[in-house]
C-alpha cells in the first residue's frame, strides 16, 4: 500500500528558534495519528507546515494524489495547494470561529465548500447540507441560523460538517475537543471515530489530551522542544513510554 502522506526532514525555524526540526513519518490511508506535547513543543507548527499554512524551511511533504502521483505539497504552486485544501484536505481548527464564516448561515457554511469545488445546483447543495447537519447531530430547523447563535459544541460540529462535506481523504485537527465540556467531548469523539471508520479517513490530530489520543489515534508522536522524541502505537507509547519526557507526561496525568 502507498502512504497517503510522506514527510521527510521537515524543519521550520522562527529566526534562531526551532519551530519543529527533522520530522519524518509516513501516514497510510485510514490511519489516525496523534501528536502530543506540551505548549510550545512545536506540534501546531508541524501541523500548519503539513497542511500548507506555513512554509517549512527544509524538507518535503509528499501527498498521494487521486491520479496516483506522489506530489510534494511544499513545492507545488499556491493554486494547486489551495485546491487540495478545498478538496482532499480538511482542517479543523481549535476555535470553530477560525474555521467557520460567522455571518453566513449553518447551511451556507456547509454549502460554500461544495460550491468551491463546482457544485451549482441549489437543491443538491441544500440537500447535502441537511444530510451533513444531521450526521453531526444539528437539527434541520437550525440550517438557516448563523453559527454565532450556536453553542461552542455545536459550532465545533458544524465546523466538522463543513470540512467533511467534500469527502476529503486527510483531515488535520488542532485540539478538536479543546475548550468543550467533557460530555460534549465524548459525543464529538464518537462522531469522529464513526466518520473515520465509515469514510476511511486518515487524520492527524494535535492535542495535549492523552485520553483523547488513546481513544482516537492508532499511532502517536510525542514532541518536545521542536523534536519528535518518541513514536509508536498509541497504547504502547502511553503504557510503556521509553523517553524520559514521555514518562513524565504520562505520569503527570491526574486520575479521575
Partner 1 sequence: MFRVENVAKSFVLHNQGSAVIPVMEGASLDVAAGECVALVGASGAGKSTLMRMIYGNYTVASGSIFVDDVDVASAPPRDILALRRHTLGYVSQFLRVVPRVPTLDVVAEPLLAVGVDPAAAEARARDLLAQLNIPERLWSLSPTTFSGGEQQRVNIARGFAHDYPAMLLDEPTASLDAKNRAVVLDLIEGAKARGAALVGIFHDAEARGAVCDREVDVSAFTPGVAA
What residue ranges bind partner 1 (CB under 8 A)? 28, 31, 182-183, 186-187, 189-190, 193, 197, 214-215, 218-219, 232-233, 235-236, 239-240, 242-244, 247-248, 251
- 73 vs 30, 67, 194, 209, 241, CA distance in Å? 20, 15, 28, 29, 33
> Residue 110 or residue 221: which is nearer to partner 1 going by CB?
221
Reduced to 3 DSSP states, what percent helix, strand and coil does the chain have, rounded to the nearest 5? 40, 25, 35
* b/e map 93-117, b = 16+ CB within 10 Å: bbebeebbeeeebbbbbbbbbbeee
- Cβ distance 72 to 199 under 8 Å? no
Q: Minimum distance between the CB of residue 239 and partner 1, rounded to whole angstroms?
A: 6
> Residue 142 or residue 243: which is nearer to partner 1 going by CB?
243
The CA distance from 66 to 84, in Å, is 10
Q: Minimum distance between the CB of residue 25 and partner 1, rounded to whole angstroms?
A: 10
> Residue 77 or residue 251: which is nearer to partner 1 going by CB?
251
Q: Minimum distance between the CB of residue 144 and partner 1, rounded to whole angstroms?
A: 29
> Residue 114 or residue 220: which is nearer to partner 1 going by CB?
220
> Residue 53 or residue 187: which is nearer to partner 1 going by CB?
187
Q: Minimum distance between the CB of residue 184 and partner 1, rounded to whole angstroms?
A: 10
Nearby residues of 25 by Cβ (< 8 Å), 6 or more positions away: 7, 33, 221, 228, 231
- Cβ distance 13 to 185 under 8 Å? no
Q: Minimum distance between the CB of residue 234 and partner 1, rounded to whole angstroms?
A: 9
Amino acid at each position: 500500500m502507498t502512504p497517503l502522506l510522506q514527510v521527510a526532514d521537515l524543519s521550520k525555524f522562527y529566526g534562531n528558534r526551532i519551530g519543529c526540526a527533522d520530522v519524518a513519518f509516513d501516514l497510510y490511508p485510514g490511519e489516525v495519528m496523534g501528536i502530543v506535547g506540551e505548549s510550545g513543543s512545536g506540534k501546531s507548527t508541524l501541523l500548519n507546515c503539513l497542511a500548507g499554512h506555513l512554509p517549512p524551511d527544509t524538507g518535503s511533504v509528499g501527498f498521494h494524489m487521486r491520479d496516483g502521483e506522489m506530489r510534494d505539497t511544499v513545492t507545488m504552486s499556491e493554486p494547486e495547494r489551495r485546491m487540495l485544501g478545498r478538496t482532499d484536505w480538511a482542517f479543523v481548527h481549535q476555535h470553530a470561529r477560525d474555521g467557520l464564516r460567522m455571518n453566513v448561515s449553518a447551511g451556507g457554511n456547509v454549502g460554500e465548500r461544495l460550491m468551491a469545488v463546482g457544485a451549482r445546483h441549489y437543491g443538491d447543495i441544500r440537500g447535502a447540507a441537511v444530510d451533513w447537519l444531521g450526521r453531526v447531530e444539528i437539527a434541520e430547523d437550525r440550517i438557516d441560523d448563523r453559527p454565532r447563535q450556536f453553542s461552542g459544541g455545536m459550532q465545533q460540529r458544524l465546523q466538522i460538517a463543513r470540512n467533511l462535506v467534500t469527502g476529503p481523504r486527510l483531515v488535520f485537527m488542532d485540539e478538536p475537543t479543546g475548550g468543550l465540556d467533557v460530555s460534549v467531548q465524548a459525543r464529538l469523539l464518537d462522531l469522529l471515530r464513526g466518520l473515520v471508520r465509515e469514510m476511511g479517513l486518515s487524520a492527524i490530530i494535535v492535542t495535549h489530551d492523552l485520553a483523547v489520543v488513546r481513544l482516537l489515534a492508532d499511532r502517536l508522536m510525542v514532541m518536545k522542544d521542536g523534536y519528535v522524541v518518541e513514536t509508536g502505537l498509541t497504547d504502547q507509547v502511553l503504557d510503556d513510554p521509553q523517553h524520559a519526557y514521555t514518562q513524565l507526561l504520562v505520569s503527570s496525568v491526574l486520575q479521575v
